[in-house]
Amino acid sequence: MNEHPFDAFRGKLVVVTGGAGFVGSNIVKRLLEAGAHVKVLDDFYTGSEANLPKHDELEVICGSVVDFDLVRETMKGAEYVIHEAARNIIVSTKNPREDYETNIGGTLNVLLAARELNTPRVVYSSSASVYGNPRHLPINEDESINLLSPYSVSKLGGEGYCKSFYETYGTSTAVVRYSNVYGPGQDPANPYCGVVSKFFEAVLNGDAPRIHGDGEQTRDFTYVDDAVDATLMAAVSVKAEGKIYNVATGREVTINQLARIIIGLAGKDLEPEYVDRRDIDNIRRRVLSIEKIRMELRWTPTFTIERGLKRTYEWILSLTKNES
């Protein structure tokens, strides 16, 4: 029988910081399926225990990555640490210091503990926001950095620590730069993919989806199962050590197209409503090259935007059914 790369997790201790959040909880579920013992460290700032299954192999610790002693204690014996904990772009824009403390300070704590404990692999979840408005499309990992928000500064700071701990101390790190992850489990308040659930929410209520700006801004939307697989490939792959990978689809989608697909899925006769752009929407176009991760980690996205949105729509419908 052919082995699956995630068989490597069987019987191993994996720590997922921010594991009660959107992407983190989906990672936890995949790890449990693969037979790992999983510890979640989360302060429930945006995450929720309701996102996590009840499972004998899952331990949930309520606390902050800002607390070094707790981070070190949690990481003892871990073979892999998947570092997802972060204050998001909205929190960061309102309060850059809070962002700094978690996103930079918390990442430094994870790496200091990994260095001390000789953790075999830390995977850090960064963001395509570090590219800002890029000069070239699709954006590859060597594109120049263009920081347009305090959040992108802190996510890049975490990347820099990962790279420098690898170069200086030999700590085994890998970085994944996610682009707009969406899918089942997403919270409408989650700013990265909130647009997807907000459009669904509006359309299901028979309201027009509200678009900030002219709707011609673009994003590269990544289905959450694909982001999970890419992250876990970066954990198990020897080649990923010390590297940075884009995690996206390579397809550029306008917000107008997104609204049309969602209106179509719900079978409604609606037109979007256009309102002022927000201060966090200062990136006009985004589409990422995924050649590096495809070649080196043999990861490729399996969900088109149409299929991913259909799955998300089915999940939203199942929630509404359970409520009634």
Ligand X SMILES: NC(=O)c1ccc[n+]([C@@H]2O[C@H](COP(=O)([O-])OP(=O)(O)OC[C@H]3O[C@@H](n4cnc5c(N)ncnc54)[C@H](O)[C@@H]3O)[C@@H](O)[C@H]2O)c1
* Omega before residue 96 within 30° of 0, cis: no
Give buried/exposed letters for 63-95 (b at 16+ CB in 10 A, else e): bbbbeeebbbebbeebbbbbbbbbbbbbbbbee
Answer for which of 28, 32, 39, 47 binds ligand X (CB under 6 A) is 47
Answer for which of 88, 107, 246, 289 binds ligand X (CB under 6 A) is 88
* DSSP assignment letter at 138: S
Q: What is the total residue count of the chain?
A: 324
Residue 187 to residue 174: CA distance in whole angstroms: 27
24 interacts with ligand X by CB under 6 A: yes
Instruction: Please give the size of the binding site for ligand X, defined by CB under 6 A.
Output: 33
Answer for which of 125, 149, 152, 197 binds ligand X (CB under 6 A) is 125
Residue 159 to residue 4: CA distance in whole angstroms: 28
Give buried/exposed letters for 254-268 (b at 16+ CB in 10 A, else e): bbbebbbbbbebbeb
266 interacts with ligand X by CB under 6 A: no
Min dist CB 79 to ligand X, Å, is 20
Answer for which of 8, 15, 16, 23 binds ligand X (CB under 6 A) is 23
Binding mask 138-177 for ligand X (x = CB under 6 A): -----------------x----------------------
Min dist CB 324 to ligand X, Å, is 26
Min dist CB 266 to ligand X, Å, is 22
> 28 near 9, Cβ under 8 Å?
no
106 interacts with ligand X by CB under 6 A: yes
Whether 192 is catalytic: no
Closer residue to ligand X, CB minimum distance, 178 or 299: 178
Direct distance between the N- and C-terminal alpha carbons of the chain, in angstroms, rounded to an integer = 44
Min dist CB 184 to ligand X, Å, is 13
Close Cβ partners of 7 (under 8 Å, ≥ 6 residues apart) = 34, 35
Closer residue to ligand X, CB minimum distance, 4 or 145: 145
Residue 82 to residue 27: CA distance in whole angstroms: 9
The site for ligand X (CB under 6 A) is made up of 17-18, 20-24, 41-47, 64-66, 84-88, 102, 106, 125, 127, 155, 178, 180-181, 190, 192-193
Catalytic residues: 151
